[in-house]
Amino acid sequence: MTNIRNFSIIAHIDHGKSTLADRFIQYCGIVEERNFQDQILDNMDIERERGITIKSQAVSLPYRAKDGVAYTLNLIDTPGHVDFSYEVSRSLASCEGVLLLIDAAQGVQAQTLANLYLAMEQNLEIIPVINKIDLPAADVNRVRAQVEAELGLDPAGCLICSAKMGIGIQEILEAIVERIPPPKGDPGSPLAALIFDAKYDPFRGTVIHCRVFDGVVRAGDTIRFVHNNATYRVEEVGRFLLHRERTESLSAGEVGYIIAGVKTVSDVRTGDTITLENRPCEKPLHGFKEVKPVVFASIYPIAADDYENLSDCLARYKLNDASFIYEKDSSAALGQGFRCGFLGLLHLDVVQERLEREFGLSIIISVPSVRYRFTLKDGRIIYVDNPAHYPDPLSVIKSEEPYIRASMMLPERYLGAVMKLCMEKRGVNSTLNYPSPGRAEIVYEMPLAEVIFDYYDRFKSITQGYGSFDYDVLDYRESNLVLLDILVNGEKVDALSQIVHRERARARAMQACERLKEEIPRQMFKIAIQGAIGGEIISRTTISPFRKDVTAKCYGGDITRKRKLLEKQKKGKKRMKMIGNVIIPQSAFLAVLKSDAE
């Protein structure tokens, strides 16, 4: 056990986490040069493209240190986005230390801080590492000063590197050996292993990623998940090199996997404790939490006959994403679909993109919603995340919506604009800090609904990319809510209905009308687009018709070409939605969500 180090790399997005992990893998020689592919741990295309790690990954790095001793360095990669902060915390709980990676040009950002706090909560050894020192804009001294002033860490312990150029890699590996304590734990005690991730393997079922704190687990053991009380027989245990490598056992201090005939990842809860059925541990490892989705939206196939296909794809997608939930839903405008829950907007984006990319589906996603809470006259309390289930306003005595604590870090010069944005987004109870000269940290309590609607984009644009943002969910607060409907030629487009704060309804309605006007192509008849609360129209735009589109000539030589054009248009039309005889392209639904600032 003294030769094991369990660590993680935490960083603000794009500060070079995956690149550093790649260097470690290369340096420790577990992949041949010719097989090397950038960002090995980011398996999904979407992760590579966005530079975001979505699923956690783990890898065991064999490392012979300067002292001549061979160590196993278990790198547990963490998801790099606020939507996944619980997953991050479970990965961190599996470690004894972290590398806190900071971009030498950008310095400390909101997620640097958020991640640092998460690591401190777990009492981890923190090694600050300044990355990208090869950049022309790199300012190592300034970042060192931030490490001291803003993070409260000793700048003397700060390492520098360029993961891209391969500079400073060995020094970091040495520091991991020297500074991060070896795991503690007793192989002789009853088994206590922490699940930090689970992946679906089509041949083996669910592969559970875990850190063993006490005891030993072997193939043939019967294990129990403490929180959902299910038992399974272990088929295989092993470690992560680049691929799974079977071992005799996993024992206290080690990081590895268990395959135990668990059908889907949804049967496994991240943060749950695994113990042995016949010799259970006294109490579960602490920190378990049921993760609940906070953003909800409906997904519909563009072509109605794709419904079965969509259903299959969601089921397959779900195999590998336990935090994604869905159930059947239907819309008068868009037909049969599914209501889905996500951890956040990024999670929604990721699901949408993967469905489209990996499963080749064309889908429409309805306006995302948070989960509202209504207290009814009869005393019942109901939660509503789907505008279709909005209660009769006369029966409601109290309506509430979830609030978050949003922390933002930004150069001071953008403060005014950001505060204005936050006020517009109904932010309250702000606190302001100046962690170092010229830099501001501002915290607001804001309705989550305002953040999922067009907040990220505007914040990024206002701060010209220099601002960073992090949030956690606080509580429910009373709010004056109404149901906003959008009508196209008098027909309600139920997929565009939104639950909104009354004061924001008119602006939101106008925005939706304008967006639709831009996206819906002119047709041969006038199209009226309206926003309405109950029966009251609160906004209206019209798309004027075109009055002539017929081609002047159509004789013998033109007919085939014309038919082919028409067939092509008909095909295109099938990919659009018809509502009240109006053709509405998919882009129109998406546009309703887009921000003005672009």
Partner 1 sequence: MAAVPNLDAHTGFPGLYIHVPFCISKCPYCGFYSITDLSLIRKYLSALRLEMGLVKNQTQAFDTVYIGGGTPSVLSPRQIEEVLYSIRDSFRIAGHAEATIEMNPADTTSNLLRAVWRGGINRLSIGVQSFNDAVLSFLGRRHRSAEAIAAIEAGRKAGFDNLSIDLIYGIPGQDTRSWLETLKQAVALKPDHLSCYELTVENPTPFGRDVRTGHIVLPDETVKTTLFFRTAEFLEKHGYRQYEVSNFARPGRESRHNQKYWEHVPYLGLGPSAHSFSGYERRWNVRSVHSYIEQLECGILPLEGREMLDLEEIRTETLFLGLRTTNGIPLGDFRSRFGSDLLKEKRGIIDFLAANGFLTIQDGALRPTRKGLAVADSLALAL
Ranges of beta strands (E only) in 118-261 are: 125-131, 159-160, 192-201, 205-214, 216-218, 222-225, 231-233, 236-240, 244-247, 249-251, 255-259
Is residue 68 within 8 Å of residue 99, measured between CB atoms?
no
Compare residues 397 and 578 and give the one whose CB is closer to partner 1.
578
Which residues are within 8 A (CB) of 115 and not within 5 positions of it... i.e. 6 or more apart?
10, 11, 12, 88, 98, 100
Compare residues 308 and 558 and give the one whose CB is closer to partner 1.
558
Scanning residues 376 to 415, which ones bind partner 1 (CB under 8 A)? none
243 in contact with partner 1 (CB under 8 A)? no
Least distance to partner 1 from the beta carbon of 521, Å? Answer: 11
Is residue 533 within 8 Å of residue 485, measured between CB atoms?
yes
How open is the CA angle 321-326-306, to the nearest 5 degrees? 100
137 in contact with partner 1 (CB under 8 A)? no
Compare residues 231 and 569 and give the one whose CB is closer to partner 1.
569
Compare residues 393 and 521 and give the one whose CB is closer to partner 1.
521
How many chain residues touch partner 1 (CB under 8 A)? 25
Compare residues 487 and 509 and give the one whose CB is closer to partner 1.
487
Least distance to partner 1 from the beta carbon of 570, Å? Answer: 7
Based on C-alpha coordinates, what's the Rg of the chain? 27
Least distance to partner 1 from the beta carbon of 576, Å? Answer: 11
Scanning residues 538 to 597, which ones bind partner 1 (CB under 8 A)? 546-557, 559-560, 562-563, 566-567, 569-570, 573, 581
DSSP 211-238: EEEESEEETT-EEEETTT--EEE--EEE
Q: Give the DSSP letter of residue 476.
A: E
Number of alpha helices (DSSP H) and beta strands (DSSP E) in the chain: 14, 33
Compare residues 432 and 524 and give the one whose CB is closer to partner 1.
524
Compare residues 34 and 571 and give the one whose CB is closer to partner 1.
571
Least distance to partner 1 from the beta carbon of 302, Å? Answer: 18
- CA dihedral sign, ordered 236, 239, 243, 246: negative
Scanning residues 512 to 531, which ones bind partner 1 (CB under 8 A)? 523-525
Least distance to partner 1 from the beta carbon of 100, Å? Answer: 57
Whole-angstrom CA distances from 308 to 311, 312, 314, 315, 328 are: 5, 6, 10, 11, 12
Least distance to partner 1 from the beta carbon of 332, Å? Answer: 15
Compare residues 29 and 545 and give the one whose CB is closer to partner 1.
545
Least distance to partner 1 from the beta carbon of 523, Å? Answer: 7
304 in contact with partner 1 (CB under 8 A)? no
- What residues line the site for partner 1 (CB under 8 A)? 523-525, 546-557, 559-560, 562-563, 566-567, 569-570, 573, 581
